[in-house]
Amino acid sequence: MSRIGKLPINIPAGVTVTVQDNVVSVKGPKGELSQAINPSIIVTIAEGQIVFTIDENSEVEQKQKQAYHGLYRALVNNMVVGVSTGYKKEMELVGVGYRVSNQGNLIEFNLGYTHAIFLQLPPEIKVETKTERNKNPYICLESCDKQLLGMVCAKIRSFRKPEPYKGKGILFLGEQIRRKSGKSAGAK
């Protein structure tokens, strides 16, 4: 049995959870999310907690049922945290001449290429960009959907991945890049 799957999820105040036809819907002050659950996992709501149990009578292989047990518990927990407190990712652009600006949910990047890169964000994500003198340009993304937020951050990071020689690229705030010495260090 999955150790994570066994843990019950406490439902915070202001959050409502409903289960109907193997779909868990979570609604809170930050938004509304839903997740389809495999029929081999039974979801029950009692005494302000969500509990996940394995259906022993289903035809799914036992090892797969245990994997689903932990997976769906983690996904629903992420939804509960997302609609109650939300998720926030902060990124910075390190490099000479790198700039970022936004109009609503349309972000414009200038990353040293011959052209600007435009990215239209989904409406579930709120974006804020800052450019201050003598500081790296800064992007702050907020959403209730952890999965969507991670995908958007990965997409933004793919425009200029951090490189180990000069340390330039798009980094998460506070991220340390392992630096490599260039050709001159090894040639003696």
Would you say residue 23 has pLDDT above 60? yes
The pTM assigned to this predicted structure is 0.87
In the block, residue with structure tokens 């040639």 = 187
In tens, the pLDDT along 24-35 reads 999 999 999 999
**Which amino acid makes up residue 142?**
E
In tens, the pLDDT along 61-120 reads 888 888 999 999 999 999 999 999 999 999 999 999 999 999 999 999 999 999 999 999
Beta bridge partners, 107, equal 102, 119
For the chain, count helices (H), then strands (E).
4, 13
Arithmetic mean of pLDDT, 119-133: 93
Q: What pLDDT shows up at residue 26?
A: 95
Would you say residue 186 has pLDDT above 60? no
The residues near 113 (Cβ < 8 Å, ≥ 6 apart) are: none
Would you say residue 183 has pLDDT above 60? yes
- Among the residue ranges 79-83, 111-115, 174-178, 184-188, the one predicted with the least confidence is 184-188
Alpha helices in the chain, H assignment, sequence order = 3-6, 62-84, 146-159, 183-186
Arithmetic mean of pLDDT, 119-123: 95
Q: Is residue 31 within 8 Å of residue 144, measured between CB atoms?
A: yes
In this structure, the number of other CB atoms found within 10 A of the CB of residue 64 comes to: 12
Q: Which domains does the chain have, with CATH numbers?
A: 3-84 (3.90.930.12), 87-172 (3.90.930.12)
Would you say residue 181 has pLDDT above 90? no
Q: What pLDDT shows up at residue 148?
A: 95
Would you say residue 155 has pLDDT above 90? yes
